[in-house]
Amino acid sequence: MGIEGIGASVVRKEDRRFITGKGRYVDDIKIIGMTYAHFVRSPHAHAKIKSIDVEAAKAMPGVVDVLTGQQIVDDKVGNLICGWAIHSKDGSAMKMGAWPAMAPETVRFVGQAVAVVIAESKNLARDAAEAVVVDYEELPAAADIKAAIAPGAPQLHPEAPGNIVYDWEIGDQKAVDEAFGKAANVVSFELTNNRLVPNAMEPRAAIADYDSAEEHFTLYTTSQNPHVARLVLSAFYNIAPEHKLRVVAPDVGGGFGSKIFIYPEEMVALWASKKVGRAVKWTGDRSEAFLTDAHGRDHVSKAELAFDKDNKMLALRVTTHANFGAYMSLFSSSVPTYLYATLLSGQYNIPAIYTEVIGVYTNTTPVDAYRGAGRPEACYLLERLVETAARQLKVDPAELRRKNFITQFPHQTPVIMAYDIGDFNASLDAALKAADYAGFPARKAKAKAEGKLRGLGFSCYIEACGIAPSKAVGSLGAGVGLWESAEVRVNPVGTIEILTGSHSHGQGHETTFAQLVADRLGIPINQVSIVHGDTDKVQFGMGTYGSRSAAVGMSAIFKAMEKVEAKAKKIAAHQLEASEGDIVIENGEFKVTGTDKSIALPMVALAAYTAHNLPDGMEPGLKESAFYDPTNFTFPAGSYICELEVDPGTGKTSFVSFVAVDDFGRLINPMIVEGQVHGGLVQGIGQALLENAIYDDTGQLVTASFMDYAMPRADDVPSFKVSHTETLCPGNPLGVKGCGEAGAIGASAAVINAITDAIGNNKLEMPATPDRVWHAIHAA
Amino acid sequence: MYSTNYHRPSSVEEAVALFGKGSDPKYLAGGHTLLPVMKQRLAGPSDVIDIAKIPGLIGVEASADALTIKAATTYYDIMHNADVKRTIPAIAHLTSVLGDPAVRYRGTIGGSVATNDPAADYPAAVLALNATVKTNKREIPADQFFKGLFMTALEDNEIITAISFPIPAKAGYAKMRNPASRFALTGVFVAKHKSGEIRVAATGASQNGVMRVGVIEEALKANWSASALDNVKVSDEGLMADIHGTSDYRANLIRVMAQRAVDAAG
């Protein structure tokens, strides 16, 4: 309804402050008497701490205190937790070593904090940190999966023999073995999903402010989910009870998953603030971000796909080793299991699937959810496998996919997920058309005549978003419920505040959530403000990740709006002396249908708050809240087609076109959706061509700056052709599915499939750097 | 960054005098090498002497035989200079693909040549064009100037004042960028001098910094064309190998970039 309602490409309300430099990030906040923290970090991947001498540092100018890991243990601050319990095949619980916020005895990755200096300025803290003398006894390190699982490998945690956190399985192994036994063709390969550094534009930061009179803490932090942060800090880390801890996540400059987790730095800031009796600020720099933000991906997998004689898929068998780094981060255990293996059916009718996932400790930065979280790994594996199959079976890759698409919904896969709706043929058809697939052979021939190798690659992805039905995730081991809350406050003058547990850190909620209200009431979005990111303002919420804010967060707003509208209609009917059932809401007015009688929203609101003339027994005020727990995941899906050219002289890839056809259900703001798709595609292309976190054998991060870690730039990516098909999600009132992660999930397989098509060699790992592609051309 | 004393002299003489007084002084031009290491606390000079604003070090002069670019002239000014574009367009092109706009507004030719980063672009032009590096003390021929990674013939407290390039008959530059840093993964400058001499220099490739490539020079002397290099084999001995490119890949890039530079030179 209205020009600013659902479906309108309204300009983002929040951009005015962002593009004029008026955003308010954690580092912009100053508190009187504030001190500054600088961490002393391990230069070794694995070492015993023999001693820490802080005396010289304590005597440096401007130093307030120097605190060590042993002190945080002595003060009984809790260890960091992993909030999703996974059990191995044999039924045993996952095997985890303790992760104290600062290491008291042993360091297990480069960058792990061992001490913190609190000083009057950032520079003084840094000066003093250099004077902290840590005596390390270096231990051998296991820097990657292969090294960690080798016989005789250095052991990280005594609790996890062989560095194995869990050995998990899903699916029917017997059925899969039988299917492979009768297969006409089997396609198999091994592949690596490269490790990534999230690199949000704003590094992590925290300010902790302890009020000794009230015994109350305030934490300003770069969080995607401040309520979850408060819950964990309170329930597990012994910082303060929830009513004595306020967590504020103000403007946050990008998260991509990396700001879901509770990190040691905010725990230390809270603890230190109480210890020194002053506010403590820590702002990470880019080097700290590289070394300590949870990394993403890092799988090594073996996959086999069985076909019958008609090229119908019979079964899929996958073994994946997942690198968790040195400690289990907050949601890490769920990423290569329930967010990965459950998506291995893709868009295909695969009768039997069996997957084993072995979680491995290594002497590297912890690994956790990063845009897509498990689903990009699943899509990359499956879509490369299907493309490889098409080449091996000598059939058209589009036709092989089409032959195996799921076409009946709902569809129960062999790996938990029950797809509710979709139309995979529709998105593939639209993509083929947009990419002019029919004209590709002629374009390839023309390129060949010009000395270029041209290739085309597909990726038909599906993901599970709207995370997630609380009962379902609870049964799978999640430590929390994944509903969302909302409160709608109609002010006495009729303006509206929406309080939401979702958190906006780039997604545009201040606009899209207001569009929902505008749509229902027919008022302009500038009469609606969105309040989020403060545990003192919003009662509770589960935050933003997993493309859940529209499907879950907005559904909660929808429910609360229904309650507000019902009450407002009663008031309007009373005021207009009409029947409640005859009241309709149009253009900000409550009208008696079929008459010219109406009352404007501000007058209804005013009546609610003056309470001079309300229906008998009605409470004053106009404010309602709701909790929404989804009934199923949502299943965004789409088809991507990448066409590119490889320069045989240099191995350099140049895009010709990139087509993305997505089915996100109903679009709230198509412009914002397009932006989300662009961002996701760039991250997927970044993984495919550029980004790679590389450790050397001793566990040093070789790519610890932008000099060596290649972030995608504007000229690395093409101008995208983005369009949509639509099947409305039946599981939520808005019919939305979520759009934040799709690009990052689907893009990389399309790119690598296109390059391997161009060069005629399928042995190619991400990132497909010019060096690697050139070598692959010459190995072909 | 550690604290330091910042100076902005107005003449070379004043800069030299300031340098003599400092306990651990450093000259600053565009700052693209020095400032990042200072920010990371990997360098902590007592005095930073900013020579980028000395008027006598800025400007371009062209004669019939030589193009002289003074040391503190920025990349931006070089790539837009009419004399540069007219006399040695390959230098204008090299400059236009060096770094990004922010780098080009600040970076100076003297700073680049004095630093001798093994992946910098200008050293390839200096060596291939057989330029003369002029300092406050002397004139140094290109062949004697570059001494290995980050090493040059410059003495302590010697300031480059200008680079003088003989105007060639033909010259071209082509490079493959490092995907992360965008420095030259390998860049090749080819020059056909008016004397008929062929000089080819590669940057980003050798473990010893910028180098001349004899096999390519010989092939181009016999036949100045890209196709003359089709079957030339460049040895990968002594070439760099890192996460961005193996030594055999860089050897290939030397040949391929040389071909593209010849095509660009015409």
Nearest CA in chain A to B3: A123
Q: Which of B41, B249, B250, B256 to mutate to test the interface with A (most CBs of A within 10 A)?
A: B249
Query: CA nearest B247 in A: which residue?
Result: A771
Q: What is the pLDDT, as a whole number, of residue A468? A: 85
SS3 assignment, position B88: coil
> Do B160 and B62 reside in the same domain of the chain?
yes
Nearest to A650 among B176, B243, B244 (CB): B176
A703 contacts in chain B (CB < 8 Å): 180, 243
Mutate to test the interface with B, among A650, A703, A766 (most CBs of B within 10 A): A650
Residue numbers in A near B185 (CB within 8 A): 770
Of chain A residues 310-349, which have a CB less than 8 A from chain B? none
Residue B180 distance to chain A (closest CA, Å): 4
Residue whose pair of structure tokens reads 């009870």 in the numeric block: A241
- Interchain contact, B256 vs A126, CB within 8 Å: no
The CATH architecture annotation of domain A31-139+201-254+259-292 reads Alpha-Beta Complex (3.90)
Say whether both B176 and B161 belong to one domain: no
Write the CATH number for B212: 3.30.390.50
Task: For chain A, positions 441-470, list CB contacts with chain B under 8 A.
Answer: none
Q: Is A771 on the interface with B (CB under 8 A)?
A: yes
Cis peptide before A205 (omega within 30 of 0): no
Q: What is the pLDDT of residue B121?
A: 98
pLDDT above 70: residue B248: yes
For domain A15-20+483-628, is the CATH number 3.40.50.2300?
no
User: Residue B219 to residues A608, B85, B216: CA-CA distances in angstroms?
Assistant: 91, 28, 5
Token pair 């033909």 in the structure block, residue: B170
Distance CA A338, CA A346 (A): 14
Flag if A708 and B41 touch (Cβ within 8 Å). no
CB spacing of B243 vs A703 below 8 angstroms = yes
Q: Identify which of A123, A711, A771 has the shortest CB distance to residue B245.
A: A771
| CB contact (8 A) between residue A774 and residue B180 | no
CB contacts, 8 Å: B256 with chain A: 649-650
Asked if residue B239 lies in contact with residue B205, where contact means CB atoms within 8 angstroms, the answer is yes
Residue A694 has its nearest CB partner, among B1, B243, B256, at B243
Testing the interface with B: which of A288, A771, A774, A775 to mutate, by most B Cβ within 10 A?
A771
Contacts of A349 (CB under 8 A, 6+ apart): A312, A313, A404, A405, A406, A411
CB A556 within 8 A of CB A615: no
Query: What's chain A's Rg over C-alpha atoms?
Result: 27
B108 in Cβ contact with B73 (< 8 Å):
yes
Nearest-Cα distance to chain B for A317, in Å, is 33
Three-class SS of residue A302?
A: strand
- Interface confidence: ipTM more than 0.90: yes
**Residue A700 touches chain B, beta carbons under 8 Å:** no
Residue A699 token pair: 């566990």
Q: Residue A711: list chain B partners with CB under 8 A.
A: 180
- The DSSP symbol for A686 reads I
As a whole number of angstroms, the distance between CA A600 and CA B156 comes to 81
Interchain pair B243, A708: CB under 8 A: yes
Same domain, B89 and B120: yes
Chain B: nearest CA to A162, how far in angstroms?
29
Verify whether the Cβ–Cβ distance A287 to B40 is below 8 Å.
yes
Q: Does B101 touch chain A (CB under 8 A)?
A: no
Residues B157 and B70 in one domain: yes
B41 interfacial to chain A (CB closer than 8 Å): yes
Q: What is the residue range of B143's domain?
A: 57-166
Interface check for B246 against chain A (CB to CB < 8 A): the answer is: yes
B128, B151: one domain: yes
| Beta carbon pairs, A and B, within 8 Å | 49
Indicate which CATH number applies to the domain containing B67.
3.30.465.10
User: Going by CATH, does the domain composed of A299-468+632-779 fall within 3.30.365.10?
Assistant: yes
Q: What is the pLDDT of residue A2?
A: 61
Residues B74 and B43 reside in one and the same domain: no
Q: How far apart are the CA of A609 and the nearest CA of chain B, in angstroms?
A: 57
How many angstroms separate the CA of residue B41 from the nearest CA in chain A?
10
B176 touches chain A (CB under 8 A): yes
CATH 3.90.1170.50 domain position(s) in chain A: 31-139+201-254+259-292
Q: Is A708 on the interface with B (CB under 8 A)?
A: yes
CB pair distance less than 8 Å for A769 and B249: no
Torsion, Cα B44 B50 B51 B54, to 10 degrees, reads -170
- The residue of chain A nearest to residue B253, with distances taken between CA atoms, is A650
Q: Indicate if B162 and B176 belong to the same structural domain.
A: no
At B28, which CATH number? 3.30.43.10
Q: Which of B118, B146, B166 is the C-terminal boundary of a domain?
A: B166
Q: Where in chain A is the domain with CATH 3.30.365.10?
A: 15-20+483-628, 299-468+632-779
Domain count, chain B: 3
| Interface contact A770-B40, CB threshold 8 A | no
B181 touches chain A (CB under 8 A): yes
Q: Does B249 touch chain A (CB under 8 A)?
A: yes
Whether A649 and B256 lie within 8 Å, measured CB to CB: yes
Please indicate, yes or no, whether residues B155 and B66 belong to a single structural domain of this protein. Answer: yes
Specify the pairing of strand A637-646 against strand A653-663: antiparallel
- What gap in Å lies between CA A226 and CA A482, rounded to an integer? 14
| Helix, strand, coil content of chain B in percent (nearest 5) | 35, 25, 40
Measure the CA–CA gap between A503 and A553, rounded to whole angstroms: 9
Write the residue in B180, B185, B249 that is nearest to A708 by C-beta: B180
Same domain, yes or no, for B36 and B11? Answer: yes
Q: Are B61 and B25 within one domain? A: no
Please indicate if any CB of chain A lies within 8 Å of the CB of B256. Answer: yes
pLDDT at A117: 98
- Chain B residues within 8 A of A706 when measuring between CB atoms: 180-181
Q: Which residues of chain A have pLDDT under 50?
A: none
Chain A, 239 to 268: residues with Cβ < 8 Å from chain B are none
Output helix, strand, coil percentages for chain A, rounded to the nearest 5.
Answer: 30, 25, 45
The set of residues, in sequence order, having a beta carbon less than 8 Å from that of A352 and lying 6+ positions away, is A171, A172, A175, A176, A178, A179, A314, A315, A316, A414
Q: Are residues B176 and B194 in the same domain?
A: yes
Write down the number of H helices and E strands in chain A.
Answer: 20, 28
